Amino acid sequence: MTTIQEYVVSGGQAVTAGEVDAFRRHFAAYKLKIELLEGIGQSVLRERASFLIRFVEDVLDGEYDPTDFAALPEAIFAVKYLAKGIDIIPDSLPDVGYTDDNAVVASVISGHQKEFEAYCTASGLLFSAIAE
């Protein structure tokens, strides 16, 4: 397991029920942050993060029942990491600012590939559109 994978797993394990509720209340803000990524040339990150937030929303709304229970808190962790203002690498740094955000989001997707493939099948989405 790489350091970034360990970081994501640890972050997912730290997500509390209260944070899940807060996440639900702030869906609109998270979606806006993700939409703004397109304007700064982060289309791949935007697509992947949009996928994760859709997955979270569908699970929390009871529209999809995951079998990999770590996928939900790690997806929440990744979206919250992307949306927060302070990162390992500041987002304001040209060309490299979103490297850490990309790594966190990619780690969640690759770490739960089977779950996300099943979700895509159930939701009529193409996993290949967000996979590496």
What is the distance between the alpha carbons of residues 1 and 109, in angstroms, rounded to a whole number?
Answer: 14
In which domain, by residue range, is 65 found? 3-129
**What pLDDT, on a 0 to 100 scale, did the predictor assign at position 91?**
66
Q: How many of the other CB atoms lie within 10 Å of CB of 73?
A: 22
Tens of pLDDT along 27-36? Answer: 999 999 888 8
How many domains does the chain fold into? 1
Average pLDDT on 32-45 reads: 82
Burial class (CB in 10 A: 0-12, 13-18, 19+), 78: buried
The structure's pTM equals: 0.92
Tens of pLDDT along 105-122? Answer: 999 999 999 999 999 999
49: which 2 tokens?
């993060």
End-to-end CA distance of the chain: 18
